[in-house]
Amino acid sequence: MVPPQRKSGGSGTKGAGKPEAGKKADPGKKDTRKQEARKQDAGTKRPGARKPAPERAPKKAAPARSSAKRGEAKKTAPGKRPAGKAAPPKTAPPKTPKIPRTPRTGPRLRRPGQAASGRGTSSRQEPPVPRRPRPGGGGSGGGPPRRRPPRPRVPFHRRDPVKRLNVGLLVVAFVLSLFAGRLVQLQTIESGTYSRLAMQQRMQKIDLPAGRGDITDAQGNPLAITMEAKAIFADPYIIKPDKRQKIVDALAPVLGLDPAYVLKVISRPDTRFEYLAHGVRPDQARLVTGFEFPGIGTLPEYRRQYPNDSLAASVVGFVNAEGKGAAGLEYSMNDRLAGRDGWHRVEIGLNGQHIPMGEDQKQPPVPGQGLRLTLMRDVQFHAQRAIEKQVKATGARSGSVIVMDPRDGRLVAMASAPGFDPNDYGDSDPDRWGSPIVQEAYEPGSTGKVVTAAAVLEKGGVRPDTPFTVPDSIKKYDRTFSDSHPHPTERLTFAGVLATSSNVGTILASERISPQTLYQFLRDFGFGEKTGIGLPAETAGNLQPPAKWSGTDRYPIAFGQSMSVNALQMASVYATIANDGVRVKPSLIAGTTGEDGAFTAAPRPESKQVISAETAKQIRDMLEGVISKEGTAPKARIPGYRVAGKTGTAEMVNPGNGQYDGTRYTASFTGFAPADDPQLVVQVVLQEPRKGNHYGGDAAAPVFKDVMGFALQSRKIPPTGSEPPTVKIRARD
C-alpha cells in the first residue's frame, strides 16, 4: 500500500511548487507538463524494467486538510495540480537538489531524457517498486517520507508470441502433411500407374513383319513372291517445325505420296513413331536415307512381287499398301499366307537413339505358309492370251476360260479378260480385281441341256435314239418357245435334239419327268451351291425349288434359262459327265509349303456318283454329234482327237426393263477331250459379244479349240486312236 500523504517540511522544499507572488497560475501549463512527462516515459521504457518516477521538487508544508481532501489528493494523477491551485508562473523552475537514493537491485533504470538502449520494449507492464524511506525523514516535520503514487498502466495490444508460434507450426505441419500424403500416393498407391506411363514414354514398339508365303503353280513356278523391302517411318517428336516442309518436299516425290499426308504424319504431336510408307524398294529407301533428315528412318520388311505381271491376277489377287491381301487368294487365304507378325520393344532416349542397356523385349515373327496351286503356268498363259484376244475381237464385255482335270477336279487354268497387273493395281479398274469365273452369275442356256438329258435318260425312259417330232416353236400355257433358227417340223432322235440344240425338242423330252426330278438332278450336279475353291465373293447362282416355279418355269429351266450359275459350276457339270458320272468338287489349292519348304498336300476333294457310268457314256457319245458337220460346233474340232461338247447361246435379261429383249447374249462352249478317255475339260464364256456372230458355236468354240489343243500337247496326251461313234441325228419315220 501507498502510505497516506503527509505535510512535508524543511527548507529544502519550501515554496517549490508555488508560483511567484503576484502572478496567476497558467491553467494550460499543467497539461503541457503532463504531455512532456508521458513522452519521456514512453522513450525510456525497456523490457523487464520498471519505469522510474520523475524527480520532483520538495513542496512546502501545507495546512492540514480534511480526510476528504487527502482522499482527493490520492486520486490525483502524477504531474496534476490539485483543484483550486493556481498555475505556476511561466518563469523557469528553480534547480532541484539531488536526493540521495538507496541502491536498488534489478535492471538499471534509465533517467528521464537518457538515450534509449538497443533493447526493445516489452509488452508487459511491470508494477512499480515502492521507494525506500529516505534517511533522516523528509521535511522539517520529521515525518515519514512521501511516496510517489503508482503510474497508471498504458494499454499495449499485441498477440502473444507463443500463440503466434503455435499457429505457424500448425500451418507448417499441415503443408508438410499435404506433401507427405501426395508423396505416399505417388510412391505407393499410384506408383504402378506412373511407372507404366514413364515406361511408355521411353518404350518403343517396332513391328517385325512375318515373311509372307509364296504362291506357286503346280510345278513350283512363282506366281507371287516376297522380296526384301523397307518401311519408312518418322519420329515427329524430334522433327523441328521449320524443317517439316523441307522433308515433305523431298520425301513425297520419292515415295509417291501425297504431300499433305506426309506433312500430317510428321506433324502429329506426342508421338515418337509413325509409318510413312510400306514395301518401299531398296533403291528408293537408299534415296530416303541419303537425305539424312533427323527423325526419318527405315526398317526392314518385305514387299509382294508378281513376276508374271497380269498372269492369273484374278486368281492370285494382290497385297495392298498395308501388307494385307485385298483380292483373290491373297485376300481369302491371308491368315495362312501372312503368318504372325512379331515385335521388338526397346527403350528410346530423348534424341531418338536406342538405349543400349535399357529394357529390351522381343517376340520373333512366325512366317506364313506358302500355297501351291493346281494351275499350270504355261497352260494358264496360253488360255489368258486366247481369251484376251477373243474378247477384243468380239467386243465382249468380258470373257473367261477354265481348264479342268475331270478325274480329280484339279483346275489347270483359270483365265479371264480384261485383267490387271497386281504390281500396279492402283492404275486399274477395281471392277477387274475380282474373278468373274466364280463371281459372275449368268444363264447357261443350251449348255445346261445336258442335265435335262441325264435326267430323262435316267428317269424318263428316253434313249439316245428315241424319236421326237420337233416343230420350230411350241406354246405352253400363255408362252411360246422357239428354236434359235426357224425350220420346218423335223423328226429328230434325242441325240439329234441335243446335237442341234433344239429348245422345242428339249421341252418335249423334259415332259417325260416331273419338275421335282429335274430340280433334284440340277442340285446333284452342283447348281445352287458354291464350289468352295477358296476364291472370295463366289456366287452360288440362282435355282429356286419347284414350289416357287410358275406354271411355265419348268420349260425354260429345261433348256438352261430362268436360272443362273457361275462358269465353274457349269464346267463341273461336264467334268462329271466326262468322269463316268462321278462329280468331284473342283479344287484350286494342291497344298501348302512350310518354312523349311516341306510340302503338305491338301485333302482329296469330295466326290459323288451323280449318274450311272452308262448314262454318262451315252451323253458323251451324243455330245460328239455336236462337233460333227450337222452339229452346232464344227469349229471346235481338233485334228487327231475325238472331242465332245455343247454350245450355249443364252439371252440376257435387260436390266432396264427386266425382260429378254434379244439384244444381249451369253455365248459359251464347254467340251472335253479325248472323248473316249476324257482327261481335260475346257469351258469358254463370252459375255455380251457385239462384233460378229454371237452364237456359242461361232464366238466361243474357236477359243475352245485353241486352248484345248495347246493343253493336250503340254500334258503330252497322245491323239485318239479310235473312230468316233455314229450318232443318229434324224429318226426314221
DSSP letter at 472 equals: S
Q: What is the pLDDT of residue 36?
A: 56
Query: What value does the mean pLDDT take over residues 60-81?
Result: 44
Provide φ and ψ at 448, rounded to 5°: -80, -5
Tens digit of pLDDT for each residue in 96-123? Answer: 555 555 455 444 544 544 444 444 444 4
Residue 660 and residue 649: Cα distance in Å, rounded? Answer: 13
Confidence of residue 349 (pLDDT cuts 50, 70, 90): low
pLDDT over 70 for what percent of the chain?
76
Q: Is the pLDDT of residue 330 over 60?
A: yes
Q: Is the pLDDT of residue 219 over 80?
A: yes
465 or 658, which is more confident: 465
Give the catalytic positions in this structure: 446
Which residue has cell 500396279? Answer: 424
Query: What value does the mean pLDDT take over residues 630-635?
Result: 91
Q: Is the pLDDT of residue 273 over 90?
A: no
| Lowest mean pLDDT, pick from 68-82, 223-237, 277-291 | 68-82
57 or 671, which is more confident: 671
Q: Is the pLDDT of residue 74 over 60?
A: no
Element containing residue 253 per DSSP (H, E):
helix 244-255
| Range of 214-218, 236-240, 366-370 with top mean pLDDT | 214-218
359 or 31, which is more confident: 359
Residue 224 DSSP SS3: strand
Query: What value does the mean pLDDT take over residues 631-636?
Result: 93
Element containing residue 401 per DSSP (H, E):
strand 398-404
**What is the rounded radius of gyration, in angstroms, for the C-alpha atoms of the chain?**
61
Residue 415 and residue 412: Cα distance in Å, rounded? Answer: 10
Residue 215 and residue 646: Cα distance in Å, rounded? Answer: 34
Question: In 516-658, where do the E strands start and end?
Answer: 582-584, 589-593, 599-601, 607-609, 644-654
Confidence of residue 381 (pLDDT cuts 50, 70, 90): very high
Residue 657 and residue 654: Cα distance in Å, rounded? Answer: 6
Q: Is the pLDDT of residue 600 over 60?
A: yes
- Output the CA–CA distances (angstroms, integers) from residue 729 to 110, 318, 501, 551, 581, in the order listed: 157, 50, 11, 31, 24
| Lowest mean pLDDT, pick from 117-126, 378-387, 436-445 | 117-126
For 476, counting Cβ atoms within 10 Å of its Cβ (0-12 exposed, 13-18 middle, 19+ buried), the class is middle
Q: Is the pLDDT of residue 733 over 80?
A: no
Q: What is the pLDDT of residue 332?
A: 96
Letter string b/e over residues 424-441, b meaning 16 or more CB atoms within 10 A of that residue's CB: ebeebeeebbbbbbbbbb
Please, what sign has the CA dihedral across residues 558, 560, 562, 567? positive
* Nearest one of 363, 514, 510, 535 to 434, comparing CA atoms: 535
Residue 127 DSSP SS3: coil
DSSP letter at 237 equals: G
| Lowest mean pLDDT, pick from 31-45, 217-231, 688-702 | 31-45
Q: What is the pLDDT of residue 137?
A: 47
Q: What is the pLDDT of residue 399?
A: 97
C-alpha cell at position 617:
457314256
Under 8 Å between Cβ of 673 and 710: no
Dihedral Cα 533, 534, 538, 542, nearest 10 deg: 40
Q: Is the pLDDT of residue 263 over 90?
A: yes
Q: What is the pLDDT of residue 78?
A: 44
| Lowest mean pLDDT, pick from 23-37, 318-332, 483-497 | 23-37
Under 8 Å between Cβ of 705 and 645: no
Binning the chain into helix, strand and coil, the percentages to the nearest 5 are 35, 20, 45
Q: Is the pLDDT of residue 215 over 80?
A: yes
Q: Is the pLDDT of residue 54 over 80?
A: no
Q: Is the pLDDT of residue 427 over 60?
A: yes
Confidence of residue 163 (pLDDT cuts 50, 70, 90): confident
Confidence of residue 202 (pLDDT cuts 50, 70, 90): low
Q: Is the pLDDT of residue 520 over 70?
A: yes
Query: What value does the mean pLDDT take over residues 704-731?
Result: 91
Query: What value does the mean pLDDT take over residues 610-631?
Result: 94
Tens digit of pLDDT for each residue in 524-578? Answer: 999 999 999 999 999 999 999 999 998 889 999 999 999 999 999 999 999 999 9
Q: What is the pLDDT of residue 16?
A: 41
Q: Is the pLDDT of residue 612 over 80?
A: yes
Q: How far is CA 224 from the centre of its chain?
A: 28
Q: Is the pLDDT of residue 689 over 70?
A: yes
Under 8 Å between Cβ of 421 and 544: no
Q: Is the pLDDT of residue 605 over 90?
A: yes
Query: What value does the mean pLDDT take over residues 627-634?
Result: 90
Q: Is the pLDDT of residue 136 over 70?
A: no
274-280/215-216 β-pairing: unpaired
Q: What is the pLDDT of residue 132?
A: 55
Confidence of residue 508 (pLDDT cuts 50, 70, 90): very high
Residue 570 DSSP SS3: helix
The whole-chain average pLDDT of the chain stands at 82
* Nearest one of 671, 675, 673 to 723, comparing CA atoms: 675
Axis crossing angle, helix 449-459 with helix 515-524, rounded to the nearest 10 = 120
Query: What value does the mean pLDDT take over residues 616-629?
Result: 94
Q: What is the pLDDT of residue 538?
A: 96
Q: What is the pLDDT of residue 47?
A: 44
Q: What is the pLDDT of residue 210?
A: 85
Q: What is the pLDDT of residue 82?
A: 46
Which residue has cell 516515459? Answer: 41
Residue 540 and residue 354: Cα distance in Å, rounded? Answer: 55
Query: What value does the mean pLDDT take over residues 509-524?
Result: 97
354 or 665, which is more confident: 665
Q: Is the pLDDT of residue 51 over 80?
A: no
Query: What value does the mean pLDDT take over residues 458-462?
Result: 96
Q: What is the pLDDT of residue 519?
A: 97
pLDDT over 90 for what percent of the chain?
57
Query: What value does the mean pLDDT take over residues 418-446?
Result: 94
Q: Is the pLDDT of residue 17 over 50?
A: no
Tens digit of pLDDT for each residue in 291-315? Answer: 999 999 998 888 899 999 999 999 9
Confidence of residue 351 (pLDDT cuts 50, 70, 90): low
Q: What is the pLDDT of residue 187?
A: 79
